[in-house]
Structure 1
Amino acid sequence: MTARQAAQAANRALRAVIGAAKALAAAATAGGGVVIAVVVVICLCGIILASPLGIFFAGPDETTGAISPAQAVAQINGELGEKISSMQAEGGYDTLEIQGQPPPWSDILAVFAAKTAGASDGTTVAILDAANVEALRTVFWDMTKLTSTPSEVEHPASGDTPAWTEQILTVTITARTPDDMRVFYSFTEEQNKALDELLANSDMLAALAGDLTISDATAKKLLAELPTDLNPERRAVVETACRLVGKVNYFWGGKSLVIGWDSRWGQLTRVWADGSSTTGTYLPYGLDCSGFVDWVFYNVTDGEYVIGHGGGAHMQHTYCTPISWNEAQPGDLVFYSGDEHVGIVGGRDENGNLFIIHCAFSQNNVVITGREGFTTVARPIHYAESVTFKHSNG
């Protein structure tokens, strides 16, 4: 079967399965069947994965270096932020203003799938390896146009401050629509049909861009090697932390008390918190180090506990008990000197060296590293409080 014939067959199967799945989902919703509804989503993803249109649904593969859609999205979002920041820095502008936003990732993924897998010579079985991430990046930039306009504002003298001229750069983001891309890429009839089907199910594509499935190979290995007798709540902390590895950009002052994926993540946002070299720039919204730790504990406790009680890494440290490195267990916290950075102990390697899960400015994402840079380890008092609470209510 040629790739074109496979695409035609996949389109027919995709339409049939989506119709049946929607009917099942409606019935499940009417009957309160949340579990059934989840199964429907899984089945839908499975069917699309088996089709040529499922190029970006395939899971990560350590042997090929393939990554998940959510990881690719975070990577490209970070590149957009870097591009805009460099435009400001290269011109020496005092102020940056942004007008517009990139197109929704559901649109970008739909166009990418139709273009890459729906072509007559398209790929019938593919994953997001380096080549396909580059192809996705190309679609993103074809759909995201940046233009810039400089301007000046004269500020009169005020008190001890002399008059000065503010240099402003306004960057306008123009988002191309899927209909624009049909023409731009000269889509065939089959590609247009495929695009229509995918756009009709944009919610599912958006969910893939913010998927919390643990997909990073290092994270999977770390979880597989956790002690079998590890306290369930500690295990939940590590598992929840691993759900964001590679998927959420670093953002100074970024916090989130949201259960699950925060819809703000990835949106270009001005960094408003003082004290960072990024303050005043526009970056994809995400988490800082303490915001990541807060999100993890908030999600593990179903929104009942914020470990920093509204503060940053230092406040989180005050709600911990000091312990030695030999006592460190998965789920404990580690800190830089002066509480400048915080991470979560993820486990140990075969030599007993610690793995740390943290949202790192240097790598602009949630990563798993060794303990380099961390100087102290501490145990959240939450664990003791949680046990006491369970015993008193058991």
Structure 2
Amino acid sequence: MCIIMMFAALLSSPFAIFVADENSEPGTQKLSLIVDELDEQFMARLEQERQAAGEVGRVEMHYTGSADNSRIDNWPEILAVFAVKTSMFTAGLDVATMDRQRVEMLQTVYWDMNQIDSHVETLEHTEMVAVEQEDGSFKEQPITVYERVLYLSITARTAEQQAALYEFNAEQRELTEELLSAAFRPMMLALLGKDQHTGLSSGELEAIRTDLPAGVLGSQAVELVLTRLGDPYSQLKAGQGNYTDCSYLVQWVYQQLEIGLPRTAAEQARFIVDNGLTLTADELTAGDLIFWSYEPNGRFMDITHVGIYAGNGKVIDASSSRLQVVYRNVFDAELQVMYGRPYVQL
């Protein structure tokens, strides 16, 4: 009887979200598929905004709260808020089954926590053009040109922000935090279809440390960043607890080595350039930085991501797609735009 009561209590609690994929009854969906569908809807809405704006000269994207002005993945927070709101606000409704009703409720939470705002501005520019004169010569003259710009602003809310808007009480806020805690993190990542593996076993970790060149500052950087493997990724919470994003991770590592770097990946790259610290890909050694550009973001060199080279063709970075700090093969070579060493090697 006690076991039955405990099971019933679990199913009626927010923690039932972790067994939602166990239900394969007709009319139910896997959460990872729902996640993909909603993310596709998000991209479709952005395209609708572009189409509705008509002909524009350019599109400016702004991701509120993102240090590197790139899209924020707040799916763990969405699921935590959804689980608490659904199981505790709606009498008799659990989150152990993702049927049509619950999917629609999840959609509501998703859009509440991912707001898209847009507006179009017409900007006036002065340009110099060569105008032919009567004698056949050309003279530079100013002309006024007008440019229509579509501004898209995306706001991804944290669980704390949405809990306040939903007026969660103290118990509900506590449960939301617990769902997002380290204890439940592997289950949350599995539920979202994310790779939970950080890339290294304990034995492999020790082998990497042993192989690092002795007496080199870059080796110390790699040793430091290895201590952050598995730490959760969040642009909105970077610096709180063990949360990090790609550029905060790099800043934190080199701060421990008494080297001050700017907060964002783009400004870290600018620092490298301004101080003559750029490298080629062939010159990379442990501790060096690799910079990627995935989309125009209006920042220096349109840089959106940075990672720390770990040697042997590997990189350690705070991954937005894996939602944690990982060790992996260096990736997307065609999108790498710069390499640098944030110190002078003596």
TM-score range, shorter chain: 0.3 to 0.5
In the superposition, the TM-score normalised over structure 2's length comes to: 0.43
Higher relative contact order (CA 8 A, sep 6+): 2
Whose strand proportion is higher, 1 or 2? 2
